[in-house]
A and B are shown apart, each in its own frame.
Chain A
Amino acid sequence: MSADVEVVEQAPAPVPGTRGTWSLSWHGLRTVTVLELRQRVRSTRWKTALIVWFLVVGLITMLTTGAFAIISGDGSTDETFGGTVYSIVVGFVLFLGLLVAPTLSSGAINGDRNAGTLATLQVTLLTPAEIVLGKLAAAWIAALAFLVASIPFLVWALVGGGVSWFALLTTVLMLALVLGVVCAIGLGFSAVVSKTSGSAVLTYLTVGGITAVLPILFGLLVPATTTTESVRVWAVEAGYTWEETTAPECEWQTQEIDVWHSERTWWLLAPNPFVVVADAQPLGDPETLGEDENMLAVLQYGVRYARTGDSGPRDWCTGVYMGEGSQPESPVEPVQVTDQLVWPWGLGFDLLLGAAGVIVAVNRLRVPTARLAQGTRVA
């Protein structure tokens, strides 16, 4: 397939051999993609949507920048506005992308079926895989157009400082992949459900499931993953009365306390598109996390923290005394979040969902078909 790029104009074999359901050719793929894109580009709805998108993302960027300028006074700390604005813009682009991407693909197959144009493709020598992947490519390219329309604002936020170019690269790459996955899921549903509204709803539910339901489940599982354990605690000395004017002595105690083993359920957070995008950037320094106000970095730190879990010794002594006098160094190391990546797991899961969508769609387009969905005509 790789070499076919150069030979597209050359005639494919006029007397074809047999090509199966999963056979793919560059020629066939391109035919379907061009057909789909041509139709999309010529609809005014699509141009309007792109313009509205550009304006909305631009507006959000402006408002965020403006709000930041007001909050931070007269720009004395302007070297870090980038982190805030950047994370808000990225979050917003992803949010809008998750809203738009299902509409780009969830009507691709059942819409054609209802319009009577699907069967006319199926009787040609295109294989089901070519039809499905061609449609996926077209939907994805359309989704990427929205992403490209928001890149100027991401770059603008980047210019504000606080975010590396490399982070921009990983963010855009992850955004693109996540949108592709959503398109593939929508395509799968559009092959299964006969009404376009039905497949759109199912796609939104699936996206909502990985974005919201799994994190909620993570939260609900907190009691189940919390156990009472003996933990070494660097605690205030026994018998300290808090009326004394001297700082308390700290000492090691062993206490029975509740420990939340978030490292057992962190994977519920991983498929969330926001987590995938946030975690793919290079891990920031936890020291600067607070000042930076880069919400993506905070989110990344959060999921890494969840993956690390906290079952080591605790420091419940250092800093509790507000009075005079110096305190000894804390012997408890602050929790170092893991440098094990979270996003490959999340992205892997999402890609599996997308692949499932493609496989389902291809199987549904197999000809000759043995069964018809209720209320559908083949033609």
Chain B
Amino acid sequence: MTPDGGIRAQGVRRSFGPVHAVADVDLVAAPGRVTALIGPNGSGKTTLLLMLAGLLTPDAGTISIAGADPVTQNYAARSRTGWMPDVFGTWDSLTAREVLTTVAAAYRIDAATGRARAGELLELVHLSEFADQPAHVLSRGQKQRLGLARALVHDPDVLLLDEPASGLDPRSRVDLRVLVRRLAAEGKTVLVSSHVLTELDEMADDAVFISRGRTVATQSVADGDRPREWRVTALDPAALTAWLDENGPAYRREGDSPAVLVELAGDAAAAALLRSAVEAGIDVSSLAPAGGVLEQAYLALEEERR
């Protein structure tokens, strides 16, 4: 085992018959950071996560999970990985608490510790009041939270979350974000796949974009000084566009919306634009990034592909 933890995947490939689900993926997710795995539907995210979780053998390439190779050291890799699949069933007739104690037992945790851990996790995902209800009465979002708790039972070093936010209400999404950040702060490696990009914006430190089974880009989210579009709205849209025509950067309109989109180099440029607009007497009512960093990066990649 190598001392470096986290997830490392290199040149990973996997096909199902003629379908190349994962054609060539390179991915590094560092401990203590949240890495977003982004890609359109059918880009191979779930297949990749299955390989990382140690359920599927890659056709080629190497994977290391917290220092263990899921192909040759599957058992060791499994013991360090917490996996939350995108679609999963629950044992419907079991209560939420029993689901967690069963999983704890399956991870060879003794009964007393398992019970304590189940209580803790139910508290964590706000399911304590449903602890002794059968899982089939839980709503989709509640099941999703139970699934997250299940992935955390054995306190894994590496977390693989496949679409964790789907079906969650706004409150739970915030909770999820806080929880994921906290887990990363504890030094865990978190890989989150999603296509709700605004969600990931606030959660992720790094992003890996895959498309058609290939890694197409890797970038850091926290990178605030990368050029992107900002949305500007003024009380008098005509005055704003007139001012922009004269002084400002190039802009474009977004349909019939009174707002205009301008491409700015970074936060400093945005502040400068706002200051000069206000000084020029334009009543700017809002200036904000149009969409998240990830969304823009994603759409830019889509553009390139066309």
Contacts and interface: CB of A to CB of B under 8 A. Distances in A.
Interface of A: 8-16, 18-20, 25, 27-28, 31-32, 34-35, 38-39, 42-43, 112, 115-117, 119-126, 367-370, 372, 377-379
Nearest to A374: B17
A378 B94 contact: no
15 contacts: A14-B109, A18-B73, A18-B75, A31-B106, A38-B94, A39-B92, A42-B134, A43-B93, A116-B87, A120-B85, A120-B88, A367-B74, A368-B55, A377-B87, A379-B50
Contact of A126 (B85, B106, B150): B106
Contact of B51 (A15, A117, A121, A368): A368
A117 B91 contact: yes
Interface size band for B: 35 or more
B81 to A, nearest CB: 7
Contacts of A34: 102
B56 A378 contact: yes
A360 B88 CA distance: 25
Interface string B48-87: 0011011111000000000000110111101101010111
Contacts of A377: 87
A21 to B, nearest CB: 9
Contact of A124 (B86, B88, B90, B107): B107
Interface stretch (B29-37, B110-118, B230-238): B110-118
Interface in B92-139: 92-94, 98, 102-103, 105-113, 134
B55 A367 contact: yes
Contacts of B76: 16, 18
Interface of B: 16, 46, 50-51, 53-57, 70-71, 73-76, 78-79, 81, 83, 85-94, 98, 102-103, 105-113, 134, 150, 154
Given A39-B94, A43-B93, 9 more contacts: A9-B110, A10-B110, A13-B108, A32-B106, A34-B102, A116-B89, A117-B89, A368-B70, A378-B55
Given A31-B106, A38-B93, A379 B85 contact: yes
Nearest to A20: B75
B273 to A, nearest CB: 48
A118 to B, nearest CB: 9
A258 to B, nearest CB: 58
A114 B153 CA distance: 24
Contact of B88 (A10, A119, A370): A119
A121 B103 CA distance: 8
Contacts of A112: 89
Contacts of B78: 123-125, 367
A114 to B, nearest CB: 8
A13 to B, nearest CB: 7
A370 B89 CA distance: 23
A372 B21 CA distance: 13
Nearest to B113: A11
Contact of B75 (A10, A116, A125): A125
- 10 residue pairs, one from A and one from B, having the closest CB atoms: A116-B89, A11-B110, A124-B106, A115-B89, A42-B93, A31-B105, A12-B108, A379-B85, A368-B57, A117-B89
Given A43-B93, A117-B91, A369 B75 contact: no
Nearest to B102: A35
Given A11-B113, A126-B106, A38 B85 contact: no
Contacts of B50: 378-379
Nearest to A372: B16
Given A11-B110, A16-B79, A31-B106, A123 B90 contact: no
B91 A123 contact: no
Contacts of A16: 75-76, 79, 108
The interface centre, meaning the residue of A13, A115, A125 with most chain B CB atoms within 10 A of its CB, is A125
A369 B94 contact: no
The interface centre, meaning the residue of B70, B75, B76 with most chain A CB atoms within 10 A of its CB, is B75
A368 B94 contact: no
Contacts of A38: 91, 93-94, 98
B85 A119 contact: yes
Contacts of B92: 39
Contacts of B86: 379
B88 A379 contact: yes
Nearest to A23: B75
A116 B144 CA distance: 13
A370 B16 CA distance: 10
B74 A368 contact: yes
Contacts of A117: 88-91
Contacts of B109: 11, 14
A26 B87 CA distance: 31
Given A16-B108, A368-B57, A123 B83 contact: yes
Contact of B79 (A35, A116, A125): A125
The interface centre, meaning the residue of B53, B55, B57, B105 with most chain A CB atoms within 10 A of its CB, is B105
A27 B91 contact: no
A370 B57 contact: yes
Given A9-B112, A18-B75, A123-B81, A369 B55 contact: yes
B85 A116 contact: yes
A194 to B, nearest CB: 14
B196 to A, nearest CB: 20
A116 B83 CA distance: 13
Nearest to B46: A379
A122 B107 CA distance: 11
B54 A368 contact: yes
A14 B105 CA distance: 11
B151 to A, nearest CB: 9
B2 to A, nearest CB: 17
Contacts of A32: 106
